[in-house]
Amino acid sequence: MNDNNYGVENIQVLEGLEAVRKRPGMYIGTTSSRGLHHLVWEIVDNSIDEALAGYCDDIEIIINKDNSVTVKDDGRGIPTGIHPKTGLSTVETVYTVLHAGGKFGGGGYKVSGGLHGVGASVVNALSSFVEVTIYQNGKVHFIKFEKGGHTVEPLKVIGECEIERTGTTVRFKPDPEIFKETTIFDYDVLKQRVRELAFLNKGLRIILCDDREDKKEEFLYNGGIKEYIQLLNMSKSPIHEEIIYSEGSEDGVSIEVALQYNESYNTSIYSFVNNINTPEGGTHEDGVKLALTKIINSYAKKAKFIKENEDGLMGEDVREGLTMIISAKVPEPQFEGQTKTKLGNSEVRKIANNVFSSSFERFLMENPDSAKVIVDKSLTAARARVAAKKARELTRRKSDLDVVNFGGKLVDCKEKDPTVCEIFLVEGDSAGGSAIKGRNSMTQAILPLRGKILNVEKARLDKALGNEEIRTIITAFGTGIGSEFDLSKLRYHKIIIMTDADVDGSHIRVLLLTLFYRFFRPIVEAGHVYAAQPPLFCIKHGKTIKYVLNEEERDSYLASLNPNVKYDISRMKGLGEMDADELNDTTMDIDKRILRKITIEDIMAADEVFSKLMGEEVEPRRRFIEENAGYAINLDI
Ligand code: 1YM
């Protein structure tokens, strides 16, 4: 190093941190806004580990005016003594040696080696400065790093504090040279995860503060995931009052389950391992699901709801209308699956099964009224399953060319390779007609939607299958539905919702998204669903025609024109009034159109929004719309 400003430095350490700066993606996935926020979780994870170890009850996260972030906790404080392996203080080691984070403590539920937990040193490598203050043994210790992990102020005691006061405070500022897209933190992104962490760690108080605009909220749930269920079911109608809760541990693995059934037909199961969402499930989820089916069946037989010789209830029957959270704490989790979010530890299956079985069985015995409504609901679901199977057979195409099945509605494309095929779901017959004329018939298929799409948030599969529009959509997609769903059979890799830019149009769009979210979620997750963006204005000057999406774009385009140019501006008609050429030019042509990809950033957040917007209860919907009226543009999840 020829940079003398930083004094004597450990070359090996700096080479390690330099590697992180060269390939940040390898350590935090991305340097987009998501990666930026990831830095906060790396630091907060250390405080949470301290809470799980039983030493910390309060965490505070502050977004400072300069867009640096401060994280404080009241744990034991990172050790300040000399670390035998590095010869540096332990805190300096934790912040400058890669992967040092979890290796020192032992015990606890560190997530190192999993998705997160790459450690504080990665945050240091990617920050323009990091300051760590430690309160320990009546002394205040301080160390500061700059420009990717160079120690600029070595660890020293800078003052005294009360002997009882312990804890760690870390302030860091992400390096704009790394985070080129943005270094601005988003309060709502932090809030979503902070709230989740507070639910998952009952009794832990987390304060989130935004000093840029004097905002401060406290998250503390003594009921933990029980309160989480209450929130998730807020806009649904529960069929029994109490939230069923089990908790227990064996061999260092602890399991918590909370559940409540509601009147809807959807299943929402969310599972976590060491506070990390496991959307692919795994052994913790399998164990609880098996126990749920087994216990409900044995109760139903004992209480004579099912005769001995009758068919039992299947897993999907007992999960209809179920909202459930499973939170496992596992000392050495093994993650598997495509996205490494599936728990593999086989010993956890039995433990989860045991913990949940015994308390759920007791609940059913002690609460016969609740037990009855749950069993009744499962029995109804079983009958509907049999009916749905018959209805589903109607949606199965006999052959690829079997257009009879569509009642002549789908105008298919010629190409058969799904990766280049698109299907437009078009609002109304007249827009459908123009779309058929204007399309590229090789790759673009058109499905005009005539009737209203059924709101599937309020309907079960069998009823949904009774809706002609939905049946046509399912048949066209080719994937099947429910237990037969197969993503690899999807016939179009772009599913494009094309509705007007008005209230009716967005209603139809929300109904379609609800359908996809509830019945075809993997299609959304795989990024196959898009919304077409028909323009709002057309600006003509000379021979140039420019279509723009909204008022903002219109104004900035007009401002860019030579003031001496005469122009003619018109508001676009609805889709149904455009002729084939206009529709193709503005909304369908691959080279000119604007598509918006529909993604599910956060499945639980999406679930909440869908239930609120489309569910039974009116009050949460009214409140949501009031709170978000100003952000209507962001409503499409
Ligand atoms: C605002 C960030 O890092 N808190 C924190 C970190 C540690 C401890 C306590 C801690 C852990 C252990 C023992 C242990 C860490 N220590 C280490 C290491 N807050 C924040 N609070 N004593 C204190 O795990 O045994 C890494 S993180 F490795 F030094 F022990």
Domains of the chain: 18-219 (3.30.565.10), 225-392 (3.30.230.10), 398-534 (3.40.50.670)
Regarding the beta carbon of 94 and ligand 1, being less than 6 Å apart is answered yes
Q: In the sheet where 568-571 sits, what is the strand order? A: 544-548, 537-541, 568-571
Q: Which position among 160, 177, 504, 581 bears the catalytic label?
A: 504
Ligand 1 contact, 123 CB (< 6 A): no
What are the backbone angles phi and psi of residue 226, rounded to the nearest 5°?
-60, -45
Q: What is the pLDDT of residue 607?
A: 76
Positions of the chain with pLDDT under 70: 1-9, 100-118, 394-408, 601-604, 628-637
Give residue 20's pLDDT: 92
- Check residue 469 and give its pLDDT: 87
Q: Is 60 touching ligand 1 by the criterion CB < 6 Å?
A: no
Q: Mean pLDDT for the chain?
A: 87
DSSP category for residue 332: S
Query: Closest Cα to residue 355, out of 426, 274, 253?
Result: 253
How far apart CA 224 and CA 239 sit, in angstroms, is 21
Return the pLDDT at 636.
39
- Which residue minimizes the CA distance to atom 8 of ligand 1? 78
Q: Residue 417 catalytic?
A: no
Residue 354 tokens read as 């045991």
Among this protein's residues, is 500 annotated catalytic? yes
Catalytic residue among 217, 429, 486, 502: 502
pLDDT of residue 282: 96
Quote the ligand 1 centre to 273 CA distance (angstroms).
20
177 is catalytic: no
Set 500, 582, 607, 608: catalytic member: 500
- Residue 403 has a pLDDT of 40
Closest-CA residue to 478 (of 530, 420, 405): 405
59 lines ligand 1 (CB under 6 A): no
Tens of pLDDT, residue by residue over 332-389, are 899 998 778 899 999 999 999 999 999 999 999 999 999 999 999 999 999 888 888 8
User: Separation of 129 CA from ligand 1 center, angstroms?
Assistant: 20
Which of 43, 50, 109, 131 to probe ligand 1 with, by most ligand atoms within 8 A of CB?
Answer: 50
3-state DSSP percent of the chain in helix, strand and coil, to 5 = 40, 20, 35
Q: Does the Cβ of 124 fall within 6 Å of ligand 1?
A: no
The string over 17-55, giving b where at least 16 C-beta atoms fall within 10 Å of a residue's C-beta and e elsewhere, is: beebbeebeebbeebebebbbbbbbbbbbbbbbbbbeeb
Classify strands 529-532 and 127-136 as parallel, antiparallel or unpaired. Answer: unpaired
- Give distance in angstroms: CA of 77 to centre of ligand 1: 6
The predicted pLDDT at position 637 comes to: 37
**Cα 103 to averaged position of ligand 1 atoms, centre (Å):** 11
State the Cα–Cα distance between residues 10 and 138, nearest whole angstrom.
Answer: 30
Asked whether 139 and 166 are in contact (CB, 8 A), the reply is no
Q: Would the CB of 101 count as within 6 Å of ligand 1?
A: yes
In this structure, the chain runs to a length of: 637
Tell me what pLDDT residue 612 has: 77
260 lines ligand 1 (CB under 6 A): no
Q: Which strands make up the sheet holding 167-174, listed edge to edge?
A: 150-160, 139-146, 127-136, 167-174, 69-73, 58-63, 205-210, 215-219
Give me 444's structure tokens: 């673009």
- Would the CB of 17 count as within 6 Å of ligand 1? no
- Report the C-alpha gap between 500 and 488 in whole angstroms: 31
CA distance 437 to 428: 15
Which phi and psi (to 5°) does residue 48 adopt?
Answer: -65, -40
Distance 167 CA to ligand 1 centre (A): 9
